[in-house]
Amino acid sequence: MITSNDLRNGMHIVFEGEVYTVVEFEHVKSANRRAIVRVRLKNMNTGTIVEHKYQGKEAVEQATLDKRELHYLYRDKNLYYFMDNDTSEQMSVDVEKIKHLLDYLKEDGIVNFTFYEGEAVDIGLPDFIELKVTHALPGVKGDTVQGGSKPVTLETGKELQVPLFINEGDVVRIDTRINRYIERVQK
């Protein structure tokens, strides 16, 4: 247990029986009232944001999270299967929980899972991933790095804007946080 005075951005706490991330906090003191802590919390399961006021030094339960990297194995109808390489344990996840990842999810790709009491509360991709270009219009002679951009199709089916010099068969690094091309990977 911690107190409300210990809350900081990015901390994970249990609020009303669910895991939340502290998005923003503010300590408020006034001359004639007790100190309070205003917080904005983001539910790790649903993504909804709530605001709450804690009295100064009110007890808050800090959530102990287990973060692990799992490898994507395969899909069977609406279930996606992942494996923990350390334990060889496999788990299935419904498509609704990972639909935000599908544009960049490929077999044997790494996916970051965050567990609270054995249940996955957050699922995300690494910040940078590398994918092969499966379809690209040919570049025109004289295209340079500083030129324009063109759409390509990646091995996952996702379309992405890349510089004109990128060709079919190239491997590109992508920043999954902003959905943007970063660089061509030399293999």
Element (H, E) at 98: helix 95-98
The 10s digit of each residue's pLDDT in 91-149 is 999 998 888 888 999 888 999 999 998 888 888 999 999 999 999 988 665 555 566 88
* Domains and their CATH numbers in the chain: 2-62 (2.30.30.30), 66-124 (2.40.50.140), 128-185 (2.40.50.140)
| Global pTM value | 0.77
Q: Are 43 and 50 in contact (CB under 8 A)?
A: yes
Q: What is the largest CA-CA distance in the chain?
A: 74
The 10s digit of each residue's pLDDT in 72-94 is 999 998 999 999 988 889 999 99
Would you say residue 14 has pLDDT above 70? yes
